[in-house]
């Protein structure tokens, strides 16, 4: 309730103008070093706190960056956010975070809120059923950069940060083939999402290269949550003959599948070898440990944020507009759920 200290108070106190105080506090070169010092000290002593809103109002910059993810409670997504937060905080930016909960409508609402909050930039991982990206148009129109990560949009003038999902899925599938699998089931999410579409491609390419036939019946669509295993396993058990490999596009779901396969008396990896995706905590806790693709979440967050901020600060004019895809390295981590041969 006490009156706020403003640059005017400092100015009056020191007998200088508010202009000089403002410049000094922003470390403007046109203020004498000695004057700066006096102002810094006075500001500190008087308990001055800059009013962001006055600054934002005038400078039209908020130093806020919006982040929209499908869900916060995903170990992958929260690693990404942790990486983003680190870079943003170091650069003096705040993070405004919201989740779409995989809903297109909520995503639209979130984008709206972000627009009204006038974030300087937006980082987005798309919801499952987002097909159009018209809701980002106000940003494009205004010139506010929008950068997609992981779940990126197929759009000419959009920049995105991802891993090479095709390659990762190729490696995963190939690994199963090398372990002797001849009939591999692939479980994936909504094919509208680039991530799953690409992994399906990688799976197909690997089969093709090794001379195995692709069958529609071996592709199972699922929402990949931790309860999905039961339904998936039911479908698997209906296949004759039984498959001997399983590539699931998500560790939590892979874990659920393993659980239900074991309940059916299937031995992992002897009867069916399993590979997951994401390197979630759960992949290390479940019995057997799940072979999985390590997804560099933290790094992805860092890279995405760093690019956005560089662009905002005009350090790399054009990088974001010319590049339209940044691809990060991913790796297959081989664990017991797929390890059949000893010479691995």
Residues that bind its own copies (CB under 8 A): 1-2, 49-54, 56-57, 62, 64, 71-75, 77-79, 81-82, 85, 89, 94-99, 101, 109, 113, 115-118, 141-143, 226, 252, 255-256, 259, 262, 281-282, 284-287
The residues that bridge with 57 in the sheet, in sequence order, are none
* Residue 295 near residue 163 (C-beta atoms within 8 A): yes
Pairing outcome for strands 146-149 and 159-163: parallel
Q: Does 22 bind DNA (CB under 7 A)?
A: yes
* Residue 100 near residue 74 (C-beta atoms within 8 A): no
Rounded to an integer, what distance in angstroms lies between the CA atom of residue 318 and that of residue 268? 50
Q: What string marks each residue from 57 to 86 as x (binds DNA by CB under 7 A) or -?
A: xxx---------------------------
Q: Does 42 bind DNA (CB under 7 A)?
A: no
Residue number, 43 or 300, with CB nearest to DNA: 43
Pairing outcome for strands 331-333 and 292-294: antiparallel
Select from DNA, its own copies, none the partner in contact with residue 27, using the beta carbon and a kind-dependent cut-off of 5 to 8 Å.
Answer: none
Minimum Å gap between C-beta 10 and DNA is 8
Residue number, 98 or 316, with CB nearest to its own copies: 98
Q: Does 23 bind DNA (CB under 7 A)?
A: yes
Select from DNA, its own copies, none the partner in contact with residue 344, using the beta carbon and a kind-dependent cut-off of 5 to 8 Å.
Answer: none
Select from DNA, its own copies, none the partner in contact with residue 283, using the beta carbon and a kind-dependent cut-off of 5 to 8 Å.
Answer: none
Select from its own copies, DNA, none the partner in contact with residue 252, using the beta carbon and a kind-dependent cut-off of 5 to 8 Å.
Answer: its own copies
Residue number, 60 or 240, with CB nearest to DNA: 60
What is the distance of C-alpha 209 from the center of its chain?
31
Tell me which of 37, 41, 45, 54 binds DNA, using CB under 7 A.
Answer: 54
- Residue matched to tokens 């020191």: 14
Nearest to 122 by CA among 317, 299, 296, 309: 309
Residue number, 141 or 240, with CB nearest to DNA: 141
Contacts of residue 176, defined as CB under 8 A and 6 or more positions apart, other chains included, come to: 184, 245, 247, 273, 275, 338
Minimum Å gap between C-beta 137 and its own copies is 12
Rounded to an integer, what distance in angstroms lies between the CA atom of residue 246 and that of residue 239? 13
Neighbours of 323 (CB within 10 A): 13
């Amino acid at each position: 309730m006490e009156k706020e200290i403003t640059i005017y108070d400092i100015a009056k106190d020191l007998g200088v103008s508010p202009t000089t105080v403002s410049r000094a506090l922003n470390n403007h070169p046109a203020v004498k070093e000695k004057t700066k010092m006096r102002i810094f000290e006075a500001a500190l002593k008087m308990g001055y706190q800059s009013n962001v809103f006055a600054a934002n109002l005038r400078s039209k910059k908020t130093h806020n960056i919006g982040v929209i993810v499908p869900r916060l409670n995903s170990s992958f997504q929260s690693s990404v956010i942790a990486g983003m937060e680190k870079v943003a905080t170091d650069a003096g930016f705040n993070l405004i975070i919201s989740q779409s909960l995989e809903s297109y409508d909520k995503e639209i609402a979130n984008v709206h809120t972000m627009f009204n909050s006038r974030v300087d930039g937006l980082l987005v991982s798309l919801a499952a059923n987002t097909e159009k990206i018209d809701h980002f148009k106000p940003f494009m129109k205004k010139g506010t950069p929008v950068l997609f990560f992981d779940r990126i949009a197929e759009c000419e003038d959009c920049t995105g940060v991802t891993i090479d999902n095709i390659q990762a899925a190729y490696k995963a599938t190939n690994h199963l083939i090398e372990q002797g699998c001849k009939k591999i089931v692939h479980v994936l999410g909504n094919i509208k999402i680039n991530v799953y579409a690409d992994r399906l491609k990688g799976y197909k390419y690997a089969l093709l290269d090794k001379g195995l036939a692709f069958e529609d019946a071996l592709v199972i669509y699922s929402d990949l949550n931790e309860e999905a295993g039961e339904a998936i396993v039911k479908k698997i058990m209906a296949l004759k003959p039984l498959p001997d490999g399983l590539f699931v596009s998500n560790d939590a779901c892979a874990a659920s599948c393993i659980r239900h396969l074991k309940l059916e008396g299937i031995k992992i990896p002897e009867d069916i070898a399993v590979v997951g995706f994401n390197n979630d905590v759960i992949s290390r806790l479940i019995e057997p440990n799940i072979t999985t693709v390590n997804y560099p979440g933290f790094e992805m967050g860092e890279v995405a944020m760093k690019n956005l901020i560089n662009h905002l600060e005009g350090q790399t004019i054009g990088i974001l507009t010319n590049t339209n895809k940044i691809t990060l390295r991913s790796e297959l981590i081989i664990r017991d759920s797929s390890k059949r041969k000893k010479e691995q």
